[in-house]
Structure 1
Amino acid sequence: MTRMGDLLGPEPTLLPGDIAAEDALDAGENPTAVAAAHPSASVAWAALAEEALNDGRTITAYAYARTGYHRGLDQLRRNGWKGFGPVPYAHEHNRGFLRCVAVLARAAESIGETDEFQRCLDLLDDCDPAARAQLGLS
């Protein structure tokens, strides 16, 4: 994996993922049950947040996304991230965290929380300039 344009910056952070949670979601298990069984898995919170947002439950989506975002920050820090540097979308296990940030952005925009919306967009851009497009945000 390349440094994404900054030769002097830190190496990309590649999360190990939560294989059990990912497998459970891939098998069609209920995201609520997966999040309860694997509360540190951002991917489970991302699934819950996306489902809630799609159902029009914006505040619930915001809460799920915020939980997954914080769980993802914990994972990133445990894996050497210092609060900056690449977190590539191309690495599948990073996607749970990035999906949470994207849902948080959408929910924040929906309730008029423009500062949080912009912070989320900035974070996505800092993590991976291609992430927004991959996540359907322009």
Structure 2
Amino acid sequence: MKLSIAIGCLILSLGFVLICSFLNLGVFFNQLLGVVFLFCSLFMGYLGFVNLFDYLNHSRLLNKGVKVKAHIIEIKRGLLGENHLPDYIVEVFYKHPNTEKIYYTEFEYFGDVNANEILKKGKDVDILIDPQNPENIYYKNVI
């Protein structure tokens, strides 16, 4: 999804630049319109690159992430009634396999914790950690 959003934003950015090239910039209205199109182009280009780098970072984490066991400390309920917010926030700690340093972090869980036997306080779950930034973790709902 993020890749398609990134590609769409970058194509839209190029489209705005292409529209600006057809404007007659001798007319004041066309100059204002050109400035608006250039600002839209820069904004869409920015959004495109942000989504592209986010997608690349996520795919790198899935491909090169280190799988570790994390111990669940607490499960907090998220805000209800909001579709884009997580249902639960799960606080965990884990030991980095290379440095033996202990990290405390949290991840978002979309779904019912009561129906999931794996997500209980005091149990261990499998997570992927980023080798470059150990605080960046990934947890899939289906293990």
Q: TM-score, normalised by structure 1?
A: 0.28
Which has the larger share of strand? 2
The structure, 1 or 2, with the larger RCO (C-alpha pairs under 8 Å, 6+ apart) is 1
Q: TM-score, normalised by structure 2?
A: 0.27
Which has the larger share of helix? 1
